[in-house]
Structure 1
Amino acid sequence: MEGLALSSNIIAVLTLAGKLLAAGYQYGSSSARFPPELRHLVQEVTALSGVLHAVKMLVDDPVANTRTANGSTGDLVRTMGEPVEQCRKLVEEMLRDLQRYDGASRRRGSWRLCWPLKEKTTKEWCERLERHKSLFEVALSVDEVSLAREIRNDVEDIKAIQLLNTQDEKQAANSRFFSIPAEL
């Protein structure tokens, strides 16, 4: 059930991120210039969305979820719930702030003429989004390392089995050689 809840929360963040991207593009396309801080925000939201999509694919993958006996994906699902929730709240807060500025701008008649947030606020948003993205990237990396260890252990097990099979074959060949029938 944890995986389903995490997947649903990731979908919520991706949906909100899409709305935030739409707002960013709307402001950027309707203003005389696309402010660099807005461009950076759009890039961060896009990058975060890509990383979250990768986390979602891993969480939704039934093959990956069978690896939980040795940790890896099970640990990812258990540890990502709270950070994804915090990220969702951040993106919701960002959208709320934009909607508040939209309302104020409409009353003044300057709606969509320029990016409504101060450069400092936008940079802070970018930094917070980047921290979330980095956390998710680290979680994916840890899962990849865990998977690599599992693969290495499986390869070592296969090699050990092959060695035992080779030894058994040699022993069987030797026993056939030394057990020559007495009729000769």
Structure 2
Amino acid sequence: MTRKKQILKTAAQLFKERGYSAVTMRDLAAAMDMKAASLYNHISGKQEILATLILEVAHEFTTGMDTVEMDDKSAFAKAEQLILLHINIALEYTNALAVLNTDWMHLEGSKYQEYITLRKTYELDFKKILEKGIATGEFKNLNIETMLFNLLSTLRSIYLWIPKKTPSELKDLKSELPVILLTGLVSR
């Protein structure tokens, strides 16, 4: 692992534990057992760290959504895939996902705009899948905003739950969460 990746990993852990605003570059340097000035050989500052962590995860969601949209599967199957995408990203990027969910508003300038665009596009694409499901009779004809809010509220908080679970419980999560979230939407 490169020194920059180590810095990002340590920063993600600290940001998750304390919040972006409470962590200083000195805190990060101490956690890395190096001098604060040495950090700047690898990274320009906290804002670069925050943007890198958040945008990496946001791009993972975008790439996943693009893959799901290319499939010729049903809306239900696509929604299932998106739930699994959230679980897999939460497993792989637990700390960075926590930072994304709690500290995205601290992004500045073009990185803030990039994140907002990625987020809005992802939500719009998810909404279109739900709308298609309603149109095809796969989902109940409920308010799209309520459906999307329910799904994303649950999916965005998975990172809180995952670190406390066993491999068996995580396997159950992958098989059961799509059923739990989507059968309430299934048209009967």
TM-score interval w.r.t. the shorter chain?
0.3 to 0.5
TM-score using structure 1 length: 0.33
TM-score using structure 2 length: 0.32
Structure with greater contact order relative to length (CA < 8 Å, sep ≥ 6): 1
